[in-house]
Each structure stands twice: as C-alpha cells, then as structure tokens.
C-alpha cells in the first residue's frame, strides 16, 4: 500500500499513471490532501468513483489523531498527536505579528540526550515519515483555517533531530513547499540541529534556502559537552566550519540558539566567550531562557541576568534576540506533553 501523503507532486503523478489514469489526477489528489485537508478518498468528489475505489485498494492517507490540545495565553497551542502505531508526537502552533508558525517534530523521542531537554527522557522510538511530519502542519492548518489564517512558517524544532532523520525531514519540507499544497516558501522554513556537522554540509547542497538554526548553548567544548553529548563527535570548531560552509553555499545567515541556564552558561564570562566565538560569523543569536522540566534540576536565570547577557552581546555588535515566553503555560519544552501522555 502506498502512503500517498508521502509523495511529492511529481511522484503522485507517476503513481496515478501507474493506475492507468491521466497525470492531472495526481495534482487533483495532492490538492485534496494538502490544500483541502481531506483524509478520505470518498471526499474527493471530482474523481471518478472507480478511481476512488482503486485508490482505497492501493494506497492510504496518513492522518494523525489529535489526542489533546493545550492552549496558552499568547496564542500558543500545543498539540499531542497519535500515530497509527499508538506513539505520541508533539507539534506547536505559535502566533506572531507576521503570521502563524508551525513547530514540528521529526522523531518519536530523541537519541541526542541533551541534558536539559525532555525529548530524550523516554528514549528514541523511531523516525517519523515525511507524511507524518507534513500532517503535523496540516493538523494545525485545519484549525487556523477556521479563522481565515494560514500556516506561513515552519520550523523543525520539535522532538527529535531533523538531520538524524534527514531524508524524511527534507522531503517533508519539499512537500510543504509545493504550490498545489500549502505552498510555504523555503525562506520561511527553519531546520534546527544540535550539531550534526555532516548533515549541515549535506543540507547546504540541497539548493533549498531554508534557515539553519544551530543549538549551540555554550561557547566552549567543556561546557557544551556537559550539556550536549553530540559535542564529543562534532566539537565546536568543526560545527563552526560547517556553519560557515552553509552560509557560503546558501547565502543565508545562520541562527545560533542559546538556552540560558542558571549558573551553567549564563555568566558574563560565558557571554564574552560567545562573543569571541561568533565574531565574524555573521550569525544571529536567539537567547532562550530555559523552560524548566520536572525531571531536570536546571533552572531559569533571573530577568536581570538574561538582560545582562543580552547586553554584552549587543555591545559587541552580535545580533541577538530574547525569545518570547510562548510555552511556559502549555508544557512547550520539547517532549513535556508527550512525557505526561506516556506515563
């Protein structure tokens, strides 16, 4: 059986041709699934009945079940979605002045074991398919369409490491970009990585101008390695080389995510080390005050400490923003809501 939501438009055209149908039927089916958001072949009313029956016999439409939604006070909604094999994944809808952003997961669980993150607490289960990643966005689109809105931005920043599920993640972005579907510009997509340097270099060659966001969280190998085991495989300087390669090949500025953790990486010294590391990188720093989780002892810095850290970067002409608190009231740290569901 063909997972039909997993197909790009040209692949879907080829599939319907294999069924003895004209290629334009593939475009019709793609539009029904990705624009009209249907989950049943019976709803595709401009297709012949015989074709709809044949599609039921040869293919299926991946549709995640919404198990719960958790709404915050600032336009943020966290979705707990269930897969066909009863695994739970998370997606987050965020409202900004410039529109709706969908934050998507790429794996069930995570292998990376970052010490401050809830994603890997239950271990790694499996990769998501491209169709499952896409359907996270479609579930969100179905809701926002009720008030005339459109998902205009996608970030692969949920549970899992996108570059560890490389083929599915990139294919999902290509499907979401397709004009006969949601039609989201690649320039409005972001791929976040904990630092898989080979994957960064591979992504640079894809010729899709997405924003690269690197979860840095420390400017020295000793601190970063304590927080992020991946640093043992790809130390900071190797990571910086890959980031420079990405910038050169794509012309896109790289964003560096930095989770501020009290008494771990938030001192003036840490800020100055970050300045030294990023000077000349033409990157942007996104400071993220830690979203605490029950199972970890790490805590959030004071507002004064956050502002002090930010000012040191600003004074050194390092572009920096402090991320808005969009998720403290919806368990929006990656893995938190799934963790509660799986207990």
Instruction: Cite the active site residues.
Output: 90, 334
Please tell me the distance from the alpha carbon of residue 265 to that of residue 223, in angstroms, as a whole number. Answer: 7
On whether the CB atoms of residues 168 and 160 are closer than 8 A, the answer is no
Q: Which of 131, 124, 191, 130 is nearest to 158 (CA)?
A: 191
Output the CA torsion 278→279→284→290 (10° steps).
40
Beta-bridge partner residues of 3 = 60
Q: Where do we find the tokens 């990643």?
A: 133
* DSSP string for residues in 230-267: GGGTS-HHHHHHHHHHHHHHH-PPPEEEEEE-TTTT-S
Which among 39, 36, 158 has a CA at the least distance from the CA of 94? Answer: 158
Per-residue CA distances from 180 to 168, 177, 248, 338 (Å): 20, 9, 31, 32
Helix (H/G/I), strand (E/B), else coil: 60: strand
Are 192 and 257 contacting, i.e. CB atoms less than 8 angstroms apart?
A: yes
Tokens coding 23: 């290629």
- Beta-strand pair 320-322/284-289: parallel
Using CA atoms, how far apart are residues 122 and 337, in angstroms rounded to an integer? 12
């Amino acid at each position: 059986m063909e997972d039909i939501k997993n197909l790009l438009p040209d692949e879907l055209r080829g599939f319907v041709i294999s069924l003895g149908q004209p290629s334009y039927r593939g475009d019709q089916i793609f539009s029904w699934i990705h624009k009209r958001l249907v989950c049943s072949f019976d709803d595709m009313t401009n297709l012949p009945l015989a074709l709809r029956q044949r599609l039921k016999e040869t293919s299926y439409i991946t549709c995640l079940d919404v198990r719960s939604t958790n709404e915050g006070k600032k336009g943020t909604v966290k979705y707990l979605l269930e897969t066909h094999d009863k695994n739970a994944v998370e997606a987050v809808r965020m409202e900004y002045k410039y529109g709706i952003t969908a934050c998507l997961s790429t794996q069930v669980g995570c292998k990376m074991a970052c010490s401050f993150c809830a994603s890997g607490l239950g271990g790694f289960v499996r990769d998501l398919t491209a169709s499952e990643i896409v359907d996270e966005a479609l579930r969100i689109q179905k809701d926002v369409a009720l008030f005339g809105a459109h998902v205009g931005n996608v970030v692969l920043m949920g549970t899992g490491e996108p570059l560890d599920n490389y083929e599915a993640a990139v294919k999902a972005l290509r499907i979401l970009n397709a004009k006969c579907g949601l039609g989201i510009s690649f320039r409005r997509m972001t791929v976040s990585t904990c630092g898989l340097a080979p994957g960064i270099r591979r992504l640079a060659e894809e010729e899709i101008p997405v924003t690269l966001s690197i979860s840095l969280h420390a400017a020295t190998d000793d601190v970063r390695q304590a927080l992020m085991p991946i640093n043992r495989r790809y130390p900071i300087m190797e990571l910086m080389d890959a980031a420079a390669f990405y910038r050169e090949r794509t012309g896109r500025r790289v964003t560096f995510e930095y989770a501020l953790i009290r008494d771990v990486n938030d001192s003036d010294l840490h800020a100055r080390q970050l300045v030294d590391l990023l000077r000349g990188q033409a990157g942007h720093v996104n400071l993220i005050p830690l979203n605490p989780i029950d199972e970890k002892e790490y805590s959030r810095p004071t507002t004064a400490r956050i502002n002090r850290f930010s000012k040191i970067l600003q004074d050194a002409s390092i572009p920096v923003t402090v991320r808005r608190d969009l998720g403290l009231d919806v368990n929006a740290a990656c893995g938190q809501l799934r963790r509660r569901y799986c207990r």
